[in-house]
Every structure is written in structure tokens, then in C-alpha cells.
């Protein structure tokens, strides 16, 4: 089977889609790596509606609607596994990204590990919360492997599908929204607007999960004093934007995301003292082509690390890296997708274990014999 998989290259400071690769017909459904923690994982979907602001991309929508997937620890180990994407969502995503030769339902075949609507486990106010944002035009599903792993280690993860920013989001009434914002992304100022909008989405989700009348039955398990934000690509830049604007967020992670917004820096020039981690491929380094992320990193005045992972591509930090290997597609990475996934999971968890759980993580301070691909590019 000829297949073209969208991956990302940094061109003129902008992450844009390119295509490459050849694949043989997959004999088995696509499969995520198993979570590594001691807990089983549950997952549920929430429909949230922010009536305080109109949708930023479709202003006639007077409220911002969001679908949020929650992953969390559970003692339930049997039940229906979560659907990665529906067959229709898979089709719309593949057509939207112009992935020629890929079976239209392929992302509906993915084997996941979370149990649908399983009863949450934990003591009241004991679980840290991480808000998670995907890359531009990507559904939150592409970070499922990371979210499941964090949940298996005792985190609640709130993954946001940012409405009108990907090709298919399904709402409870059956509506499927497309990528209205895709018609607007012709300059860098758009991305500054995107980062601010996503930061507002993250803050609204925090309101809904930690307020007096929370939207989720397991919200009582969340420790509101331990909140993190993370994301990949545009989602990573948005996580830093949320860290800068919402004081409830204690630590942030940008995974391979430029902060080039065509205007104001994401991190204020006056400085930001809360902890931040930047995790990138080894061709995305301080002082290199991404001068915007370099400048924003310099504006971080507290604990910070910029870690680089050798042999990775932009897609390596998401589920797409594993899927590419399973399909026999070369995305330009020399580090296998499963290995890149393991590295991403381990360093993201180390960051939040250190700064939300206050458990020292020497892994973040230098080269590890277990992960020699990872170097400290800046601190």
C-alpha cells in the first residue's frame, strides 16, 4: 500500500505539513504502547460550554463549545476500551490532511487501554491534574498514549479538542465540526491568537473541573494545588501561554512547539518564575532557527530545562510516531516510535513528579544511562 503520512518540518519559522513515506498493508490494527504505571486507566468525555465568550473562529457561535477527554486512575480492569477516533472522524481527518492511500477508517482501528466511564479511584484531593493540548489541526487523540501513561501513574489528564481547529470533533448531539480556523492560518499573527485562545480554553476547563459545581463526578479527587499544563507543537506553545496567564497552573511543558506568534512573546519579558520544560528534537535547539522559543526560554526566570532528543522528528513525540513504524512509513526519525514514546512519557512524568508531587528527579539534570538520546541543551 502506498501511503503518505503528514509530518512536520520547520520552514521559515512555521511548522507546516509535509509528506513522505511508503508503507506495506498493516496486518494488525494500530496499537498504542501499554501504560507503565500500576493503575488501570479509565476515560470519559465531557461536553463543556463557555457562555462567557464567543467562539474565536466562528463568531456567530456565541458560546465556546469544547469536548474534553478525561483519563484517570481506576481499579476497574475489565470493560469497553475507548475509541481512538470514530470511523467518520478518521475519514475526515485523513481527507483533511490529504493522506493518500491510507485506509479511511485506519484511526478507528487503534487499540487503546483506557476503560470507558470506569469508576475513578483515589482519595479526595489526592490526584494532580494535567491539562493537555494537541498540535495544530491534530485531535487530542494523537496524545492518547501520553495521557494513558500519566493516568496509570496517578494523574488526572484533561485533554482538550479545540473546536474548529481540527477536521472532526463530534458533539453529543451528533454534530461534527470541521477546521474553520484552517482558512485563517496564513500569517504568524494567527498563531499568537491561537495560543491565547487555547490558553483561555485551558483556564475554562480548569474552572469546570475545580469549581464549586464541577462538571465531572471524579473532580473531588483532584488536588487543586497541583496543576500542570502540557502540549505538543502549537499545544506546547499554548501550554506555556496558559502557564503565563493562569496562576493556578504550577508547571508547564512545551513538547517541540515553536512560540513564534508574529507579535508579543508567549512568556512576558518581565519574566515568569514558575517551572517550565521544553522537550524538542535535536534539530530544534536554543540559538537555532527558532529564535522565538529561544527568547521565550530566556524569559523564564525559575526552574527550567530545554531537553533535546536525538533521532526524533516532530511527529515522534505523538502517537503518530508509533503508527508510522507499524505501517512501515519512514518519517525521517532514526529513533523508533516506541522508544520516542517511552522517552516522552518518562520525561513529561519526571517534570510533573518533581514540580507537582515534589519528588526530586535527577533524570532532569543530566545525561541518563537509560536515556542516552536525551541531552540538556539549556537550563
Q: How far apart are CA 209 and CA 222, in angstroms?
A: 8
Q: Per residue in 90-118, is it b (16+ CB within 10 Å) or e — as a string? A: bbbbbebbebeebbeebbbbbebbbbebb
CB 129 within 8 A of CB 209: yes
- pLDDT mean over 25-53: 91
Percent of the chain with pLDDT over 90: 88
- Residues 181-231 have pLDDT tens digits of 999 988 889 999 999 999 999 999 999 999 999 999 999 999 999 999 999
CA angle 40–42–43, rounded 5-degree value:
150
Which residues, 6+ apart, have CB-to-CB distance to 155 below 8 Å? 72, 73, 127, 128, 129, 130, 352
- Across the chain, mean pLDDT equals 92
Q: Assess contact for 234 and 257: CB atoms under 8 A.
A: yes
Q: Where are the domains of the chain?
A: 5-378
Q: Looking at per-residue confidence, does 289 or 24 come out higher?
A: 289
**pLDDT value at position 186?**
85
Strand 176-177 vs strand 127-133: parallel, antiparallel, or unpaired? Answer: unpaired
- Within a 10 A sphere around the Cβ of 196, how many other Cβ atoms? 18
State the pLDDT confidence band at 130, using cuts at 50, 70 and 90.
very high
- Predicted confidence at residue 7, as pLDDT, reads 36
Query: How do strand 304-309 and strand 374-378 relate by DSSP bridges?
Result: antiparallel
pLDDT mean over 93-98: 95
* Claim: this prediction has a pTM higher than 0.85: yes
pLDDT in tens, 322-339: 999 999 999 999 999 999
Per-residue pLDDT for 14 more than 60?
Answer: no
Q: Read off the pLDDT of each residue in 163-183 and give the average, rounded to a whole number.
A: 98
Q: Is the torsion defined by CA of 26, 83, 134, 220 positive or negative?
A: negative
CATH class of the domain defined by 5-378: alpha beta
pLDDT tens digit sequence for 248-292: 999 999 999 999 988 889 999 999 999 999 999 998 999 999 999
Q: What's the pLDDT score for residue 318? A: 98
For 64-92, write each residue's pLDDT tens digit: 999 999 999 999 999 999 999 999 999 99
Give the model's pLDDT for residue 264: 87
Torsion angle of the four alpha carbons 37, 39, 45, 51, in this order, in degrees rounded to the nearest 10 = -80
Question: How much is the pLDDT for 6?
Answer: 38
pLDDT for the residue numbered 188: 82
**So what's the pLDDT on residue 13?**
31
Q: Indicate the pLDDT class of residue 112, thresholds 50, 70 and 90.
A: very high
For residue 100, what pLDDT is reported? 83
Amino acid at each position: 500500500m502506498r501511503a503518505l503520512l503528514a509530518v512536520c518540518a520547520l520552514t521559515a519559522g512555521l511548522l507546516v505539513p509535509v509528506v513522505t513515506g511508503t508503507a506495506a498493508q498493516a496486518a494488525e490494527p494500530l496499537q498504542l504502547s501499554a501504560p507503565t504505571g500500576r493503575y488501570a486507566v479509565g476515560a470519559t468525555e465531557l461536553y463543556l460550554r463557555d457562555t462567557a465568550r464567543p467562539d474565536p473562529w466562528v463568531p456567530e457561535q456565541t458560546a465556546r463549545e469544547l469536548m474534553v477527554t478525561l483519563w484517570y486512575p481506576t481499579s476497574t480492569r475489565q470493560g469497553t476500551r475507548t475509541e481512538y477516533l470514530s470511523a467518520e472522524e478518521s475519514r475526515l481527518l485523513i481527507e483533511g490532511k490529504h493522506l493518500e492511500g491510507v485506509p479511511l477508517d485506519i484511526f478507528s482501528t487503534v487499540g487503546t487501554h483506557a476503560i470507558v466511564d470506569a469508576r475513578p479511584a483515589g482519595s479526595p484531593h489526592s490526584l494532580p491534574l494535567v491539562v493537555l493540548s494537541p498540535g495544530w489541526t491534530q485531535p487530542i487523540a494523537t496524545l492518547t498514549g501520553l495521557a494513558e501513561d500519566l493516568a496509570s501513574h496517578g494523574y488526572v489528564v484533561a485533554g482538550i479538542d479545540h473546536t474548529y481547529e481540527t477536521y472532526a470533533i463530534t458533539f453529543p448531539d451528533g454534530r461534527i465540526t470541521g477546521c474553520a480556523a484552517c482558512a485563517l492560518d496564513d500569517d504568524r499573527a494567527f498563531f499568537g491568537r491561537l495560543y491565547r485562545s487555547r490558553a483561555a480554553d485551558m483556564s475554562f476547563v480548569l474552572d469546570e473541573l475545580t469549581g464549586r459545581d464541577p462538571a465531572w463526578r471524579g473532580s473531588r479527587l483532584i488536588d487543586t494545588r497541583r496543576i500542570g499544563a502540557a502540549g505538543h507543537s502549537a499545544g506546547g506553545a499554548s501550554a506555556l501561554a496558559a502557564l503565563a496567564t493562569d496562576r493556578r497552573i504550577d508547571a508547564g511543558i512545551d513538547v517541540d512547539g515553536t512560540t513564534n506568534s508574529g507579535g508579543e512573546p508567549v512568556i512576558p519579558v518581565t519574566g515568569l518564575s514558575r517551572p517550565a520544560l521544553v522537550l524538542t528534537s535535536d534539530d530544534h535547539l536554543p540559538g537555532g532557527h527558532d529564535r522565538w522559543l529561544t527568547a521565550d526560554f530566556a524569559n523564564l526566570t525559575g526552574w527550567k530545562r530545554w531537553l533535546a532528543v536525538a533521532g526524533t522528528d516532530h511527529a515522534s513525540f505523538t502517537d503518530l510516531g508509533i503508527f508510522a513504524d507499524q505501517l512501515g512509513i519512514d518519517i525521517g526519525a532514526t529513533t523508533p516510535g516506541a522508544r520516542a514514546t517511552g522517552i516522552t512519557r518518562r520525561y513529561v512524568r519526571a517534570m510533573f513528579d518533581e514540580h507537582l508531587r515534589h519528588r526530586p528527579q535527577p533524570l532532569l539534570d543530566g545525561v541518563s544511562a537509560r536515556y542516552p538520546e536525551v541531552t540538556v541543551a539549556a537550563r
